[in-house]
Amino acid sequence: MPDIRFVQLSPAALAALVDGDLETASAEAGQPLSQYLVDEAWLWRVRLDDIAKNPEAAQWIARAAVVDGVVVGHGGFHGPPDADGVVEVAYSVDPEHRRRGYAKAMLRALLERAAAEPGVTAVRASIRPDNVGSKATIAGFGFKKVGEQWDPEDGLEDVYLRPVEVHEQG
């Protein structure tokens, strides 16, 4: 499985991506970013708003996914853990880099991050019923369907939950 490294995107990097300024965003991130991240400007607007409302959210969201120095997508969580300790996973692979195992590698890295965080009890994934690729990505990672929800952007979504690994003491 590919080795994914996540590079946090600061509010300045996110703002530059929203403005379509790839050069400034890359300088802010300390990593050459990609046009795919610029194309995701709608998401960075949402994340900037999230960070403005809760600065702690910056530690959980908006990361470039990098393999061998190349941005292959982005991943993180929708925000910090909720009151029950649940975080919702989010990731996307640049179409130019799909079908190479990057989504599963991102998911594995995000699950490891969640398990390492005290207070996180479970990871949630929300997937449209017709999104065969995303359902295949979470297969084998212990997610169980727990319900459905309506998302204003995506419509009907199946909701999956997976408990985090037991935190080792010591």
Q: Is residue 170 part of a domain?
A: no
Q: Is residue 132 part of a domain?
A: yes
Answer whether residue 168 shows pLDDT above 80. Answer: no
pLDDT of residue 152: 84
Q: Is residue 168 part of a domain?
A: no
pLDDT of residue 153: 79
Q: 28-48 burial, b if ≥16 CB within 10 A, otherwise e?
A: bbebebbebbbebeebbeebb
pLDDT of residue 16: 98
pLDDT of residue 170: 35
pLDDT tens digit sequence for 12-26: 999 999 999 999 999
Nearest to 160 by CA among 116, 111, 125, 114: 125
Residue-averaged pLDDT of the chain: 92
**Helix, strand, coil: what percent of the chain each, to 5?**
40, 30, 35
Q: Is residue 89 part of a domain?
A: yes
Q: Is residue 71 part of a domain?
A: yes
pLDDT of residue 2: 77
pLDDT tens digit sequence for 120-141: 999 999 999 999 989 999 999 9
Contact 123, 162 (CB under 8 A): yes
The arithmetic mean of pLDDT across residues 145-170, rounded, is: 81
Q: Is residue 169 part of a domain?
A: no
Q: Note down the domain range covering 43.
A: 5-163
CATH number for the domain harbouring residue 92: 3.40.630.30
Q: How many CB atoms lie within 10 A of CB 14?
A: 25
Outline where DSSP puts E strands in the chain.
Answer: 5-8, 63-67, 70-77, 86-93, 122-127, 144-151, 155-163
pLDDT tens digit sequence for 82-129: 999 999 999 999 999 999 999 999 999 999 999 999 999 999 999 999
pLDDT of residue 151: 86
pLDDT grade, residue 42 (50/70/90)? Answer: very high
| Number of domains forming the structure of the chain | 1
Contact 87, 48 (CB under 8 A): no
Q: How many CB atoms lie within 10 A of CB 11?
A: 16
